């Protein structure tokens, strides 16, 4: 029976470790939690306790079953088996804890399966981590594992192994009861509501809710959401979803008349430049994006344009396929589904366009290459197509070199018409750029890329192609700037988009509220190309439809239009924001949008 007491003590040791992780996480993210009253720190620990109890129960299921076997088959094997098991568990918990604490500063949400997907290309995934932080992380992991494993082995496992079971039948019955009892904290009790991340939410300050979440539970929860998309995000009956979604559906195809067209030609040469991590609300900051700012004042500027997600793989699909991002999945991860998507490249290829994708990094990262080829690109250039001495940045080739390569690709292009798509990389963390003008590393990296795009446009102005050239600058997503901004906030997803070049018919500001998914229908409409297969993309030049921007963050959604803003957190199962005269109606439509998206995703 004493062996059971030791197992119970191990269970509560893990609970204590998880509770201690919370203040350590808040200290790691010091600037975010500075000035937080001590009472709130205690509330974080208290409200996160159910998730801690749940994860600890998951950990103890196997040891309890092994202990049951040891009642009838005693021996030293139990000590050695539990040593190995707990050492592996503690190592995994340490890696999750440290990775989560560091990534939260960039992403603004607790860890989910996203980093596991990026580890398909480990070198690229590690490129975001500063070298110094990598060694700090290793040190913390070593300390975490060393302390917990020592306490486990010295004070619990070794004394437990010396216990002799004298009452086998009674011990078996009690062990079976306690093992079955573990499913109560795993499930969250006997009520209809089962354990989920939302149990930890208690505050209007989303960062306090995040601090209460057990990162291991967050990861397990996201892993449990498999590929049965048609069963996820069921907010209402299908007919109700159809009705609520109707106001958000794109209007039938409309082409502009010659006098209303934004362009001087329906067959321009197109250069689509996707800017890594460019944030919309810093466009007017002095010295950060002066060249893009100047281009916005001579070309077409979209001041109310938003990213659909928070990572490049999801932003690319939104931009290039007009397909909304998903809160806890990335369709690029599923080539069988992503290849079925409509795509700007595929539509242009049918019209005789030559398509090329250029990226100075690893095009195999997050399945990008397969997506590019499957959706219509004829050529994909990546870091492997540059000289070794040009691959000098952590992520690959610095932007000034890649911009020069794009100019060369354009000047040597024999086919007409063409579209060159270029994804920049230098403004991705860790922001290692060959320029130091601004103190903040992110702002400095944006200023560097902005200087590159300015020189790029100046060079193309001298080209004989200029008069027929359409250049589109748009971000793939934003960066968490300022540091305290929350992932769910509308401002967090605001990105710049500017159209310029000789094919643009003068300056205009398009005030329409829109997002990345609307680029496809808008561009194809200007080219008089059918866009009816883009089921979620709106033509921003069509003033007869309701315009809005939809975005997702980790297990949540946001919606913004000219009058309303709503934010829903699926983890919490509650609205974080409803603002505007039609907020209730828009909230229901936003949920229907996500439900219809997953209906479509499941059918592909």
Q: Answer positive or negative: Cα dihedral of 435, 31, 115, 139.
A: positive
pTM for the whole structure = 0.83
- Whether residues 270 and 194 fall in one domain: no
- Whether residues 345 and 289 fall in one domain: yes
- CA-only gyration radius of the chain, Å: 27
Does residue 604 form part of some domain?
no
Does residue 381 form part of some domain?
yes
CA distance readout (Å), 216 to 14, 53, 219, 329, 600: 12, 12, 5, 18, 30
- Whether residues 327 and 209 fall in one domain: no
- CATH assignment of the domain containing 422: 3.40.720.10
Does residue 406 form part of some domain?
yes
How open is the CA angle 421-362-316, to the nearest 5 degrees?
A: 40
Evaluate whether 153 touches 13 at the Cβ level (below 8 Å): no
Gap between the Cα atoms of 199 and 203, Å rounded: 12
- Whether residues 219 and 343 fall in one domain: no
Gap between the Cα atoms of 201 and 214, Å rounded: 11
Last residue of a domain, one of 507, 542, 577: 542
- Give the 3-state DSSP-derived string for 90-112, with helices as H, strands as E and coil as C: HHHHHHHHHHHHHHHHHHCCCCC
3-state secondary structure of 114: helix
Q: Find the domain containing 140 and state its range.
A: 2-223
Q: Answer positive or negative: Cα dihedral of 280, 285, 290, 293.
A: positive
Cross-strand bridge partners of residue 422: 273, 358
- Whether residues 384 and 523 fall in one domain: yes
Gap between the Cα atoms of 299 and 304, Å rounded: 16
**Long-range contact pairs involving 4-9 (C-beta distance under 8 Å, separation at least 24):** 4/67, 4/171, 4/174, 4/175, 4/178, 6/156, 6/157, 6/159, 6/160, 6/163, 7/60, 7/63, 7/64, 7/67, 7/160, 7/178, 8/178, 9/156
Six token digits for residue 20? 């201690």
- Whether residues 183 and 315 fall in one domain: no
Give the contacts of 208 (CB within 8 A, at least 6 positions apart).
Answer: 36, 40, 43, 44, 202
A 10 A CB-CB count for 69 gives: 13
Evaluate whether 165 touches 27 at the Cβ level (below 8 Å): no
Last residue of a domain, one of 206, 223, 240: 223
Work out how many domains the chain is built from and give that number.
2
Six token digits for residue 430? 């860790």
* Confidence (pLDDT) at 43: 96
- Whether residues 272 and 215 fall in one domain: no
- Whether residues 315 and 444 fall in one domain: yes
- Give the 3-state DSSP-derived string for 257-278, with helices as H, strands as E and coil as C: CCCCCCECCCCCEEEEEEECCC
Q: Across the 604 residues of the chain, what is the mean pLDDT of every consecutive 10-residue run?
A: 91 98 96 94 96 97 96 94 98 96 84 71 65 88 97 94 86 94 92 76 84 93 72 94 96 93 98 98 97 98 97 96 93 83 97 97 85 91 95 94 98 92 96 96 98 98 97 96 88 97 98 98 98 97 95 94 96 93 98 97 90
* Confidence (pLDDT) at 167: 86
Last residue of a domain, one of 196, 223, 250: 223
* Confidence (pLDDT) at 122: 62
Does residue 241 form part of some domain?
no
DSSP string, 516-529: TTHHHHHHHHHTT-
Does residue 13 form part of some domain?
yes
* Confidence (pLDDT) at 225: 57
Does residue 209 form part of some domain?
yes
Q: Identify the CA nearest to 93 among candidates 154, 149, 133.
A: 149
- Whether residues 133 and 186 fall in one domain: yes
Evaluate whether 446 touches 288 at the Cβ level (below 8 Å): yes
- Whether residues 49 and 137 fall in one domain: yes
A 10 A CB-CB count for 412 gives: 7
Evaluate whether 557 touches 535 at the Cβ level (below 8 Å): no
Gap between the Cα atoms of 593 and 400, Å rounded: 40
């Amino acid at each position: 029976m004493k062996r059971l007491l030791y197992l119970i003590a191990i269970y509560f040791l893990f609970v204590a470790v998880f509770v201690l992780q919370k203040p350590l996480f808040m200290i790691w993210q010091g600037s975010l939690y500075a000035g937080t009253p001590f009472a709130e720190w205690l509330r974080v620990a208290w409200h996160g306790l159910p998730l801690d109890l749940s994860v600890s129960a998951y950990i103890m299921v196997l040891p309890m079953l092994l202990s049951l076997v040891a009642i009838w088959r005693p021996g030293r094997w139990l000590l050695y088996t539990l040593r190995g098991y707990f050492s592996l568990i503690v190592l995994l918990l340490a890696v999750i804890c440290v990775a989560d604490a560091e990534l939260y500063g960039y992403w603004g949400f607790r860890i989910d399966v996203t980093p596991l997907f990026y580890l398909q290309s480990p070198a690229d995934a590690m490129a975001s981590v500063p070298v110094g932080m990598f060694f700090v992380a290793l040190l913390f992991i070593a300390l975490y594992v060393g302390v917990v494993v020592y306490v486990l082995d010295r004070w619990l496992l070794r004394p437990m192994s010396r216990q002799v079971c004298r009452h086998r039948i009674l011990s078996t019955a009690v062990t079976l009861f306690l093992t079955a009892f573990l499913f109560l904290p795993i499930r969250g009790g006997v009520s209809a509501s089962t354990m989920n991340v939302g149990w930890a939410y208690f505050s209007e300050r989303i960062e306090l809710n995040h601090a209460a979440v057990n990162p291991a539970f967050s990861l397990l929860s996201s892993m449990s959401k498999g590929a049965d998309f048609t069963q996820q995000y069921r907010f209402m009956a299908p007919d109700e979803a159809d009705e609520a979604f109707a106001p958000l559906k794109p209007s039938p195809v409309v082409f502009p008349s010659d006098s209303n067209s934004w362009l001087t030609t329906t067959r321009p040469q197109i250069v689509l430049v996707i800017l890594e991590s460019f944030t919309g609300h810093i466009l007017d900051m002095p010295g950060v994006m002066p060249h893009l700012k100047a281009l916005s004042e001579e070309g077409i500027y979209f001041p109310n344009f938003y990213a659909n997600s928070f990572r490049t793989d999801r932003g690319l699909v939104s931009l290039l396929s007009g397909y909304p991002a998903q809160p806890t999945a990335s369709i690029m991860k599923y080539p069988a589904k992503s290849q079925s998507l409509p795509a700007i490249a595929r539509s242009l290829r049918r019209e005789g366009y030559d398509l090329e994708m250029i990226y100075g990094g690893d095009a195999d990262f997050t399945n990008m290459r397969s997506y590019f080829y499957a959706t219509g690109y004829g050529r994909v250039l990546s870091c492997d197509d540059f000289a070794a001495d040009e691959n000098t940045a952590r992520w690959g080739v610095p932007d000034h070199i890649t911009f020069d390569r794009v100019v060369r690709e354009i000047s040597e292009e024999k086919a007409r018409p063409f579209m060159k798509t270029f994804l920049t990389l230098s403004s991705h963390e860790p922001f290692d750029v060959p320029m130091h003008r601004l103190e903040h590393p992110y702002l400095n990296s944006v200023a560097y890329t902005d200087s590159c795009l300015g020189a790029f446009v100046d060079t193309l102005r001298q080209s004989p192609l200029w008069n027929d050239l359409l250049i589109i600058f748009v971000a793939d997503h934003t960066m968490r700037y300022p540091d305290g901004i929350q992932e769910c906030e509308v401002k967090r997803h605001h990105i710049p988009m500017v159209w310029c070049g000789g094919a643009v018919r003068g300056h205009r500001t398009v005030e329409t509220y829109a997002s990345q998914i609307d680029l496809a229908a808008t561009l194809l409409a200007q080219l008089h190309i059918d866009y009816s297969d883009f089921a979620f993309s709106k033509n921003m030049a069509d003033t007869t439809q309701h315009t809005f921007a939809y975005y997702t963050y980790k297990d949540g959604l946001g919606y913004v239009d000219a009058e309303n803003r709503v934010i829903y957190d699926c983890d919490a199962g509650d609205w974080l924001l409803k603002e505007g005269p039609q907020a209730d109606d828009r909230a229901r439509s936003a949920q229907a949008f996500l439900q219809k998206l997953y209906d479509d995703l499941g059918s592909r």
